[in-house]
Structure 1
């Protein structure tokens, strides 16, 4: 069981690492159309994962525990939104499509703030994987090992293009390929860390599991609505981003339903 949990937590990080490694194979900065498609794809995966892997199990667990089913889902979801809103307001970061930094004022380099922006994305993803594997640790019958791995693999799939999206611009900022790869990989290390923290928290307070599932869903949806979709829809070729959302959503839905 412990080996499965460790593997499950590391799979999304491996996806980010492999994606960051594309900096060694792509000579030029990523094509704008491809970048929009990948941003849309990541959005679709995260939306579907939030629904099938997080919110629906949260509601089912609440019913099983004799709670009012919608309360943990609603409370946890809104707290997840609030949590990311606070992080977004406090942590200095910079998005690819914006020259103006967000968060508190800082003298950090542009490359560092680009990495911090992606790190913000990865926190809720790590929490999402951590909380479903926490369900396995607590022997919750509503979460299966295949379902947990389906979520982990789905997030890894969308982390692959995300790793490339961050490493390629870093190279164009003047960093060497090795440094761009290192920064891209580093942005993903927060995922297994967030996952471990979530598992430990759930182990201490088992009844909080439905709330944590919904919390992770809210945090992921915040990232999608606040950052990923706006970046995918800005400027020309916005329809490509929309197609990416549809493909990512369907793929994650199939993974979760077929393997869950």
Structure 2
């Protein structure tokens, strides 16, 4: 039961953030959006390091001086996996005029905005799935408290992410508040789905758990460097995004060290 709720925590964060569409009027101010994007970036980078890469290296200590290999290989494969998804799925980023990926002439703007956030959420779901797989494995040093910490951290950064997708859908996408909330929530459904699939795979191939941890970290790092940081740095006052990054990074680091 604890594992179930652990997998659902990130979706709850996305749903709560998407519900902001019912309480906030108009658009999110650009400065606030930059801060939220920076905050999400900081949480994801800190989670990648403390919750995924460090456990991956620690689990590979029996390899001696080559203990870095699973982490290095996993990160690179995770980056290339997201690169392939980025090129294969049509999506539209906030503030962008033209979509990325395969051209779909008839696809609605709202749909492509949701697909962009869904693409971000896949590696987060994988990260939660692999950390819980490690906690459930008797051969792993990952604790259930550490897994829950990562889930809570991702839920915290999912809250502003949910607001960032639902608010523009209402103001720019031309959809109702109810549909904007629904689309924002659906963009987060991929997280528990990806988590469950990852747990099932990790249960079959426990020996490669260090690679899977690093794979999830690489996928999250790709999203931050390719999408979130550039979006937070657009236009003037990009230092607001940098401050948000620092705050998110520190909060996730403290959570992981104190509770993990």
SS of residue paired to 2:60: helix
* Structure 1 residue 140 displacement after superposition: 3.9
2:72 alignment partner, one of 66, 71, 74: 74
User: For residue 3 of structure 2, what is the aligned residue in structure 1?
Assistant: 5
TM value normalised by structure 2: 0.97
CA shift digits 1:118-143 (9 cap, x unpaired): 00000000000000000122124421
* Counterpart mapping for 1:55-74 below 5 A: 55-64=53-62, 68-74=66-72
Question: Post-superposition, which runs of at least 4 consecutive aligned residues in structure 1 deviate over 2 A?
Answer: 64-68
Over aligned residues, Cα RMSD in angstroms?
1.0
User: For residue 17 of structure 1, what is the aligned residue in structure 2?
Assistant: 15
* Structure 1 residue 4 displacement after superposition: 0.9
* Structure 1 residue 65 displacement after superposition: 6.5
CA shift digits 1:39-82 (9 cap, x unpaired): 00000000000000000000000114668211100110000000
* Structure 1 residue 150 displacement after superposition: 0.6
Name the CA distance, whole Å, in 2 between partners of 1:70 and 1:27: 49
Name the CA distance, whole Å, in 1 between partners of 2:3 and 2:134: 11
User: For residue 51 of structure 1, what is the aligned residue in structure 2?
Assistant: 49
User: For residue 37 of structure 2, what is the aligned residue in structure 1?
Assistant: 39
Name the CA distance, whole Å, in 1 between partners of 2:167 and 2:248: 22
Name the CA distance, whole Å, in 2 between partners of 1:88 and 1:54: 22
SS of residue paired to 1:14: helix
SS of residue paired to 1:96: coil
User: For residue 166 of structure 1, what is the aligned residue in structure 2?
Assistant: 165
Contact 2:131 2:213 (C-alpha < 8 Å) held by counterparts: yes
SS of residue paired to 2:97: coil
SS of residue paired to 1:189: helix
SS of residue paired to 1:242: helix
* Counterpart mapping for 1:214-229 below 5 A: 214-229=214-229
User: For residue 148 of structure 2, what is the aligned residue in structure 1?
Assistant: 149
1:188 paired with 2:188, answer yes
TM value normalised by structure 1: 0.97
Name the CA distance, whole Å, in 1 between partners of 2:51 and 2:109: 35
1:249 paired with 2:249, answer yes
User: For residue 125 of structure 2, what is the aligned residue in structure 1?
Assistant: 126
CA shift digits 1:201-260 (9 cap, x unpaired): 000111010000000000000000000000000101100000000000000000000011
User: For residue 138 of structure 1, what is the aligned residue in structure 2?
Assistant: 137
CA shift digits 1:73-119 (9 cap, x unpaired): 01100000000000000100000121110000112100000000000
